[in-house]
Amino acid sequence: MLKIGAEHLSDPPELIEEVMYEQVLATRLRMQRFLPFIAISAASAPLLGLLGTVTGIINTFKLITVFGSGDVRTLSGGISEALITTEYGLIVAIPSLLLHSFLSRKAKGVVDEMEKTAVTLINHVARTLASSGDHAQVALIPAGEALDQTSETSESRFESEFREEDSDGALPRDGKDPTTASPTTEPSRLHEGEPLAGELMETRLIRVDSTDTVGKAIERIRSAGLDDGTDTAFVVDPQGRYIGHIALHRLLARNENEAIDALTDTQSLFVRLDTNQSSIATLFRKHGFFSMPVLDPNDRLVGRVIRQP
């Protein structure tokens, strides 16, 4: 599984997750292929023993009808038949039941360990991609701080270029010395006038509570009725604060009583209400997401932005 994941490290995290999950499913099917036969043996053996018991008792009563109950040796054959069939039924059923419990638990442990390893690799890849570019940092820190950093960088570059153009000692047109004049912020607004995430977002999304079970989450997904290709559910705490996301295909393969918070990927990217369109587009190109959550200053989930074709 890790070999297949390593072969796709250059692909988006979602694709890596898909190919690794495909390998997990193949392993699960291979390890569980004999479990149904063992389960049937464990369930049917006592029934066959019970059938033998019934036939033995029937034969005993037939003999009583013919010969009466005075001769014990005449009755012992039917009673012996009933006890022997019950014995052999239990001999088959008890080991089969123990073997099925052991093997099913062993298979589940292997699959769970594979899923844990896969999630660890995906999270590491996501963190690596997030830290490899400036645009990814826009989604990991408050957008206001990101815009301030962009402005400061742009202002420094603008001031540097301004000084180089006037390196011959001549003053600029306003008569101020560029080494002492405070840089103006207007020329540094590289994306001024662009739509922000708060204007681009839509409020129709799949919201799942962290206290939900898998069964409850699936009910929420069905009630949302989204058919636009959505492949992710966003997980929030009881106060509506964003925690992480979970791929929909993972929910379908889990037990309906399993807790959602144990399956949530908390290392997911997000954008703020004031993140500009260019930064959002860069994130989509870089990570291949279908949609990303939009958070307000209090980290509450308020909507999502969808990748444009």
Q: Is the pTM of this model over 0.85?
A: no
Report the side by side order of strands in the sheet with 301-306: 271-272, 291-295, 301-306
Which tokens sit at 191? Answer: 């994306």
Q: Which positions ≥6 away from 231 have C-beta within 8 Å?
A: 14, 247, 248, 249, 290
Q: Which tokens is 6 given?
A: 């390593």
The encoded tokens of residue 237 equal: 């705490």
| Tokens, residue 98 | 């123990």
> How many whole angstroms separate alpha carbon 20 and alpha carbon 111?
12
Walk along the chain (309 residues) and give the pLDDT tens digit of each residue.
Answer: 777 777 777 777 778 888 888 888 888 888 888 888 999 988 999 898 888 888 888 888 887 777 776 666 767 777 888 888 888 999 999 999 999 999 988 888 888 888 888 888 877 777 777 665 444 343 444 444 443 444 444 444 434 443 444 444 443 433 333 333 333 333 334 456 778 888 888 888 888 888 888 888 888 888 777 666 677 889 999 888 998 888 877 777 778 888 888 888 887 788 899 888 888 888 888 877 778 899 999 999 999 988 876
- Note whether 261 and 211 are within 8 A (CB): yes
Sheet strand arrangement including 232-236: 207-209, 232-236, 242-247
* DSSP annotation string for the chain: -HHHHHHTTTS-HHHHHHHHHHHHHHHHHHHTSSHHHHHHHHHHHHHHHHHHHHHHHHHHHHHHHHH-SS-HHHHHHHHHHHHHHHHHHHHHHHHHHHHHHHHHHHHHHHHHHHHHHHHHHHHHHHHHHHHSSHHHHHHHS-HHHHHHHHHHHHHHHHHHHHHHHTTTS---TT---TTTSPPPSGGG-TTTTPPBHHHH-BS---EEETT-BHHHHHHHHHHH---S---EEEEE-TT-BEEEEEEHHHHHTS-TTSBSTTT-B-----EETT-BHHHHHHHHHHH--SEEEEE-TT-BEEEEEE---
